[in-house]
């Protein structure tokens, strides 16, 4: 039995939710919250923007949650109805009912969630592990995807670096401490990005990551980003963009960008100087401009 990811106690969940709720309250744009029951568990969803605007589905990175999109929400919601989904089985407000241990599970859970939300077709944006998830969904259901934006996609065309994996395991799984988790998070940002992570609007996202990591017990066996055959994406008719930090800590950024260009020749691959893995914190203006330009495409 793979086990189910969950908070270690009701108190740990309450501590996390207080920070989550404060981030929602501080959102620059009004948000609605809802919970969707799926066969994989209860999925928490944030939404913003004019309901009559084209839909955009946003999927966060590992150990983050839907509030990690709030810094970019004014830009995203200017032309879209933005649906930000808390991934089941991750450090979020969603509650898993059974293990998610395969890519096919992610696709099935996400499809159930979107159908319950009556999102038949949308643009997709995925950050880090969320980029890997969005790509899996796009390959499974290309007819339901208008555009695909991958922001620092984890593991899609290259394995995670061993040194980073060992650091991640030591900082978050072996007797984690607030200082250790904070230091680990800093390894994914540039010095400028680290400062932004400590200031609004990122501050509460950072605090959720630290407090939540200390209080959350991930499943022993869970889905992880692995290298994919992207031929199905290369054959897709919708536009694709990837944003890669040149100073990536999870991967070799330039090598990953080169592989994406080779496997997705029609895609726009943007390499960003002065950016580590958390590109939106490192280079927010560049990321926002790229997303705005990309999402205007027909």
> pLDDT tens for residues 266-291?
999 999 999 999 999 999 999 999 99
- Please tell me the distance from the alpha carbon of residue 168 to that of residue 170, in angstroms, as a whole number: 6
pLDDT for 265 equals 96
Q: pLDDT tens-digit profile of 216-225?
A: 998 877 888 8
- What is the number of other CB atoms lying within 10 angstroms of the CB of residue 293? 11
pLDDT for 76 equals 96
Q: Are 222 and 105 in contact (CB under 8 A)?
A: no
Closest CA to 176 of 216, 206, 220, 205: 216
Q: pLDDT tens-digit profile of 108-131?
A: 999 999 999 999 999 999 999 999
- Please tell me the distance from the alpha carbon of residue 298 to that of residue 281, in angstroms, as a whole number: 28
Q: Two tokens at 6? A: 């969950």
**How many separate domains does the chain show?**
1
Residue 154 lies in a domain: yes
φ and ψ at residue 44, rounded to 5 degrees: -90, 140
Q: How far apart are the first and last CA of the chain?
A: 45
Q: pLDDT tens-digit profile of 49-103?
A: 999 999 999 999 999 999 999 999 999 999 999 999 999 999 999 999 999 999 9
φ and ψ at residue 178, rounded to 5 degrees: -55, -45
Averaged over 189-213, what is the pLDDT?
97
Closest CA to 55 of 268, 295, 297: 295
Q: Are 22 and 204 in contact (CB under 8 A)?
A: yes
Give the pairing type, strands 55-59 and 122-127: parallel
Residue 271 lies in a domain: yes
Residue 144 lies in a domain: yes
- Please tell me the distance from the alpha carbon of residue 62 to that of residue 98, in angstroms, as a whole number: 18
Residue 157 lies in a domain: yes
pLDDT for 1 equals 39
Q: pLDDT tens-digit profile of 13-53?
A: 999 999 999 999 999 999 999 999 999 999 999 999 999 99
Q: Are 129 and 154 in contact (CB under 8 A)?
A: yes
pLDDT surpassing 60 at residue 298: no
What is the SS3 assignment for 292?
Answer: helix
Q: What CATH code is carried by the domain that includes residue 31?
A: 3.40.50.1820
pLDDT for 190 equals 98
pLDDT for 173 equals 81
Residue 1 lies in a domain: no
pLDDT for 130 equals 98
pLDDT for 169 equals 84
- Bigger pLDDT: 236 vs 222: 236
- Bigger pLDDT: 152 vs 171: 152
Averaged over 160-179, what is the pLDDT?
88
Q: What is the overall mean pLDDT for the chain?
A: 95
Q: Are 257 and 150 in contact (CB under 8 A)?
A: no
φ and ψ at residue 183, rounded to 5 degrees: -65, -40
Closest CA to 105 of 94, 117, 113: 113
pLDDT for 36 equals 97
- What domain range is 155 assigned to? 6-295
């Amino acid at each position: 039995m793979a086990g189910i990811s969950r908070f270690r106690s009701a108190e740990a969940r309450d501590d996390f939710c207080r920070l989550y709720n404060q981030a929602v309250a501080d959102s620059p744009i009004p948000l609605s919250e809802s919970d969707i029951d799926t066969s994989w568990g209860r999925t928490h969803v944030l939404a913003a923007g004019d309901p009559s605007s084209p839909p955009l589905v946003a999927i966060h990175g590992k150990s983050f949650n839907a509030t990690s999109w709030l810094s970019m929400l004014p830009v995203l919601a200017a032309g879209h109805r933005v649906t930000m989904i808390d991934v089941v089985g991750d450090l979020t407000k969603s509650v898993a009912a059974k293990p998610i241990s395969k890519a096919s599970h992610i696709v099935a859970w996400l499809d159930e969630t979107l159908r319950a939300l009556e999102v038949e077709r949308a643009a997709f944006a995925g950050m880090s592990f969320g980029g890997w998830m969005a790509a899996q969904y796009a390959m499974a259901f290309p007819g339901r995807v208008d555009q695909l934006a991958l922001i620092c996609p984890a593991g899609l065309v290259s394995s995670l670096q061993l040194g980073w994996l060992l650091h991640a395991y030591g900082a978050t799984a072996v007797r984690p401490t607030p200082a250790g988790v904070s230091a680990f998070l800093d390894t994914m940002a540039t010095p400028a990005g680290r400062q932004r992570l400590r200031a609004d609007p990122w501050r509460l996202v950072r605090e959720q990551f630290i407090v939540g990591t200390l209080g959350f017990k991930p499943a022993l066996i869970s889905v992880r980003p692995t290298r994919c055959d992207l031929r199905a994406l290369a054959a897709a008719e919708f536009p694709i963009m990837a944003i890669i930090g040149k100073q990536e800590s999870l991967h070799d950024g330039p090598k990953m960008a080169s592989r994406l260009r080779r496997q997705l020749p029609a895609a726009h691959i943007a390499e960003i100087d002065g950016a580590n893995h958390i590109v939106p914190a490192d280079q927010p203006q560049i990321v926002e401009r790229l997303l705005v330009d990309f999402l205007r495409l027909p």
